[in-house]
Amino acid sequence: MLSPIPAKTSLQSADSPIGLLDSGLGGLSVAREIRRLLPQESLLMVADSAWAPYGDKSPEQIRERCEKISDWLIEQDCKAIVIACNTATAAAASYLRECYSLPIVGMEPAVKPAAAATKNGIVGVMATTGTLASARFAALLGKFASETKVITQPCPGLVELIEAGDIAGSRTLLENLLAPLRTASVDTLVLGCTHYPLIKAQVSDVMGSAVQIIDTGEAVARQLARRLQDGQLASNHSLPQLSLHTSGNQALAQRLAPDWLGEPVEVSRLPPQFKLNHQSATQPE
């Protein structure tokens, strides 16, 4: 376990960027919603694709990695940090809030709105194994879905295919992964990983148009807006900046990111200190 440390701070200027971290390119689905709701805000994204997925790492490893990335974001004078990853939120959000005095906004699977939206009382949740096994997810079910039948579906291998831009492979895997949810007649499906909205069309095609699909990107953007207003950190910048830094394959990220974000973005490599330090994390240059 990492020991609590004195809270770290940034200069927290209103015109400073918002930092966003994710295990890979899935954070683009959240960044897209932030850009839509807060177009005047600068955004500095980190896609830790060399370590994707976080779901097969221990909570201690995830906390250590998220702290390292957050330290770097603060060095870039970020005024808030969005943890655009359900697994990282479950493992590291509480710890990071002890480490830093700036606003930290996390993710959680949209169990509450799904339980409210379902008509037949049967909800499916797609997520990584790490998210589904977390105490945070168990607490969500207990609090918001006690009268709803929730069927969870871990999705091993799906993040890796999305990271590689293999949409055809993702569709083939989805057919197998989502079969139990179709058999169970779920009428509402929660996308419990920020990578999954990037293939929302394929998910909808497999599940059928009658199934409601819910993700949390928009809700996170609204919560971020509230935190910035409360902290008097909202920007009115006329020329907001947008950048993406990756620990993985820069050329691949540069090819995929603009389409998934919905606007041009320049992709850079993270500095040398973010080279791999976990034997199971492999990513081509």
Q: How far is CA 285 from the centre of its chain?
A: 23
Active site residue 78: no
Q: What's the Cα-to-Cα distance from 156 to each of 57, 62, 243, rounded to whole Å?
A: 13, 18, 29
Backbone angles phi, psi at 220, to 5 degrees: -65, -40
Residues contacting residue 259 through CB under 8 Å, at least 6 positions apart: none
Strand order in the sheet with 18-22: 104-105, 80-83, 18-22, 43-47, 242-246, 266-269
How far is it, in rounded angstroms, from Cα 234 to Cα 154? 37
- In the sheet where 122-127 sits, what is the strand order? 149-154, 122-127, 188-191, 212-214
Pair 246, 269: CB distance under 8 Å: yes
Q: How is residue 119 annotated by DSSP?
A: S
The active-site residue out of 66, 85, 99, 155 is 85
Say how far apart CA 249 and CA 267 lie, in whole Å.
10
Which of 78, 99, 155, 193 is flagged as catalytic? 193
Judge whether 193 counts as a catalytic residue.
Answer: yes
Catalytic residues: 85, 193
